[in-house]
């Protein structure tokens, strides 16, 4: 059987080769690895130009180069149907990793396999297997209606007309863009363009979807619509999705597992709830103070970090969850308060602390 033949074209689920009944059942109900990455590294070599005219002349004869590792020995495995968040600050290597998995750039060392394919070989069968959506780049023709680009993609992927119409109608209905198909892409709003980009990426029913900040720049309503669509699509077709985003709402609503990289290194790979719990199970206690001068402005809790906003008079106490009751008693015994609000530490803060602690560990003693 040729590689990739075990995947039936169209919206069908994974169909295994003919096996004995007990083995087929076992295969169907196991978590099949879809993406396997081992020690993936990409080093970029950049020319360091000396400023000025003579610096340019000198560069003609002798050049200095600087090497930057965008990804360093990254390893992970993603099972079929998983929806995984890929997190990291700007320049951490997220987009570089996605491009290596897509075959757009070659790794300096290490290897990757996606459904058994080597992305660096750029086989046609592999290119039919995945889709890459870059939130800051367009694949649709700017001066044509989106429907024209969809028909072009149908011809490129060789999708039968009946299958194309069924898939397109379903995606258009899910994303609610039926009235915009004949509008030039340049005249669409940012949210509408992103919906069209998602349709273009999914027309050939890929089994793997790489998403690089698909909600960047979108308003709250458009972000919610895109998240709802991705959640439903992943649930219905068990598409393996690797998502990068700086919006933690995307990650919290869509991903149960996250991979965090920083300065090219993987620093966390596991369940999102474990990452949140691993931050010391910390909470924030917000105390709003009315204009009652009996409550001292210099008050600090004995159980956590205390800050006061001089403009609003609001105190913020960061404390482990097990001392919440003690802190609340401290506050109430000190003076009258209007309200006490207890909430989880935002995921953004947890990720930022993870980056900070990793930087501290990497500093020479």
At 32, which helix (H) or strand (E)?
Answer: none
Residue 77, burial from CB neighbour count under 10 angstroms (0-12, 13-18, 19+) = middle
Report whether pLDDT(111) > 50.
yes
pLDDT of 59 reads 75
116-119 LR contacts (CB < 8 Å, sep 24+)? 116/3, 116/4, 117/3, 117/4
Query: Tell me: the pLDDT tens digits for 28-66?
Result: 334 678 999 999 999 988 877 778 877 777 777 788 878
Number of domains the chain contains: 2
Give the pLDDT of residue 133.
92
CA distance 293 to 123: 73
The domain containing residue 231 runs over which residues?
21-36+78-275
Whether 159 and 269 share a structural domain: yes
The pLDDT assigned to 328 comes to: 85
The domain boundary residue, chosen from 275, 291, 325: 275
In a domain, 138, yes or no: yes
The phi and psi torsions of 40 (rounded to 5 degrees) equal: -75, 125
Query: Do 239 and 326 reside in the same domain of the chain?
Result: no
User: Using 50, 70 and 90 to split pLDDT, how confident is the model at 21?
Assistant: very low
Residues 139 and 118 in one domain: yes
> Average pLDDT for residues 80-108, to the nearest whole number?
91
pLDDT digits 0-9 by tens, 210-224: 999 998 888 888 889
Residue 298 located in a structural domain: yes
pLDDT at 364 over 80: no
User: Residue 11 pLDDT > 50, yes or no?
Assistant: no
Answer for the pair 31, 79: CB distance below 8 angstroms, yes or no: yes
Rounded average pLDDT over 334-342: 81
Comparison of pLDDT for 98 and 59, the residue scoring more? 98
308 and 332 both lie in a single domain: yes
More confident residue, 4 or 210: 210
Tokens encoding 297:
């402005």
Over residues 222-244, the pLDDT tens digits come to: 889 999 999 999 999 999 999 99
Residue 107 sits in a domain whose CATH number is 3.40.50.300
Q: Supply the pLDDT for residue 16.
A: 38
Same domain, 249 and 329: no
Is the same domain home to 288 and 146? Answer: no
* Shared-domain flag, residues 262 and 294: no
User: Is residue 2 in some structural domain?
Assistant: no
Q: What is the CATH number of the domain that holds 296?
A: 3.30.70
19 vs 281, residue with greater confidence: 281
Percent of the chain residues topping a pLDDT of 90: 40
pLDDT value at residue 27? 40
**233 and 330 belong to one structural domain:** no
Same structural domain, 231 and 286: no
Q: Do residues 229 and 129 share a domain? A: yes
Q: Is residue 57 part of a domain?
A: no
* pLDDT at position 327 over 50: yes
- 60 alpha carbon, distance to own chain's centre: 42
Among the residue ranges 73-82, 182-191, 316-325, the one predicted with the least confidence is 316-325
């Amino acid at each position: 059987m040729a590689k990739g033949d075990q995947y039936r074209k169209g919206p069908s689920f994974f169909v295994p080769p003919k096996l004995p009944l007990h083995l087929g059942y076992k295969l169907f109900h196991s978590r099949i690895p879809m993406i396997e990455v081992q020690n993936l590294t990409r080093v970029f070599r950049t020319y360091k130009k000396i400023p000025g005219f003579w610096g340019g002349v000198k560069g003609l004869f002798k050049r200095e180069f600087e090497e930057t590792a965008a990804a360093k020995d990254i390893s992970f495995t993603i099972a079929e149907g998983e929806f995984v968040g890929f997190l990291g600050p700007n320049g951490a290597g997220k987009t570089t990793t996605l491009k290596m998995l897509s075959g757009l750039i070659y790794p300096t060392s290490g290897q990757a396999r996606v459904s058994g394919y080597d992305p660096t070989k750029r086989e046609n069968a592999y290119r039919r297997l995945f889709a890459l959506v870059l939130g800051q780049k367009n694949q649709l023709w700017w001066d044509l209606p989106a429907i024209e680009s969809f028909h072009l993609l149908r011809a490129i992927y060789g999708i039968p007309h009946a299958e194309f119409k069924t898939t397109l109608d379903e995606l258009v209905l899910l994303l609610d863009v039926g009235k915009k198909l004949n509008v030039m892409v340049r005249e669409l709003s940012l949210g509408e363009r992103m919906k069209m980009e998602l349709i273009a990426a999914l027309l050939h029913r890929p089994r793997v979807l790489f998403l690089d900040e698909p909600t960047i720049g979108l308003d709250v309503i458009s972000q919610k619509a895109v998240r709802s669509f991705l959640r439903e699509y992943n649930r219905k077709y068990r598409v393996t999705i690797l998502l990068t985003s700086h919006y933690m709402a995307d990650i919290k609503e869509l991903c149960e597992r996250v991979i965090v990289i920083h300065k090219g290194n993987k620093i966390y790979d596991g369940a999102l709830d474990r990452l949140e719990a691993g931050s010391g199970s910390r909470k924030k206690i917000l105390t709003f103070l009315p204009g009652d001068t009996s409550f001292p402005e210099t008050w600090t809790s004995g159980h956590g970090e205390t800050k006061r906003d001089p403009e609003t008079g609001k105190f913020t106490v960061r404390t482990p969850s097990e001392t919440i009751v003690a802190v609340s008693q401290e506050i109430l015994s000190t003076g009258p308060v209007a309200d006490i609000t207890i909430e989880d530490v935002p995921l953004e803060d947890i990720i930022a602390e993870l980056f900070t602690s990793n930087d501290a560990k990497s500093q020479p003693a």
